Structure 1
Amino acid sequence: MSSTPHHLAEEFPEYVVQMRYLRETDGHFHRICSEYEEVNHEIHKAETDIEPCDDARMVNLRKRRLALKDEIYGMLTRVEPVVEDSDV
């Protein structure tokens, strides 16, 4: 069983700037990212036996995390790329 956290910045490193921008400007994106983090944390606690759960709950949590991740990815790929200001 894997106990590696699936943080969004690690899952989508090429979209870190877009994620930060959308979290600040899009309430729905902010909510689904927050829910993803909560579900991901629950999975991590179960996988590391901090708060074990039964197999059915684990399957449901993983399905929910995947659905949220798919929705997040869809939103990231539809938005225009955000360029960070650089100190030149």
Structure 2
Amino acid sequence: MQIEKHTLINDLPEHHHTIRHLKMNDNHFAKQFDQYHDVNKEIHHIEEQNEAVSDEYLETLKKQRVALKDLLFTKITETEKSL
């Protein structure tokens, strides 16, 4: 089974330039971006390897990924509005 990767660039390709700009110029955004990708990588590894973890743990990771993505998306759209 093919597991879909939820990288921020894959999920928000129309915001690629803004994401790149923020990663290079906003340390807080860059830190949250890295956290998002660390959580995403762990989720992907668990799903890809059929790793034995509790459903609660995986659900917590997925909720964390969504929360980080919401924060990042908010920053992206706020930045684009200000340009």
State whether TM-score is above 0.5: yes
Partner of 1:9: 9
Aligned residues: 81
2:80 is paired with a residue whose SS is: coil
Q: How does 1:11-30 map to 2 (within 5 A)?
A: 11-30=11-30
**Structure 1 segment 8-87 matched on structure 2, within 5 A:** 8-49=8-49, 51-80=51-80
**Structure with greater Cα Rg:** 1
Q: CA deviation at 1:53?
A: 1.6
CA distance in 2, matches of 1:61, 1:80: 28
Unaligned stretches of 5+ residues in structure 1: 82-88
- Name stretches of at least 5 consecutive residues in structure 2 with no aligned partner: none
**4+ residue segments displaced more than 4 Å:** none
For the aligned residue pairs, the C-alpha RMSD in angstroms reads 1.8
How many Å separate the matches in 2 of 1:63 and 1:42? 13
Mark the CA change 1:6 to 1:68 in structure 2 (over 3 Å): closer, same or farther.
Answer: same
Q: TM-score, length-normalised on structure 1?
A: 0.84
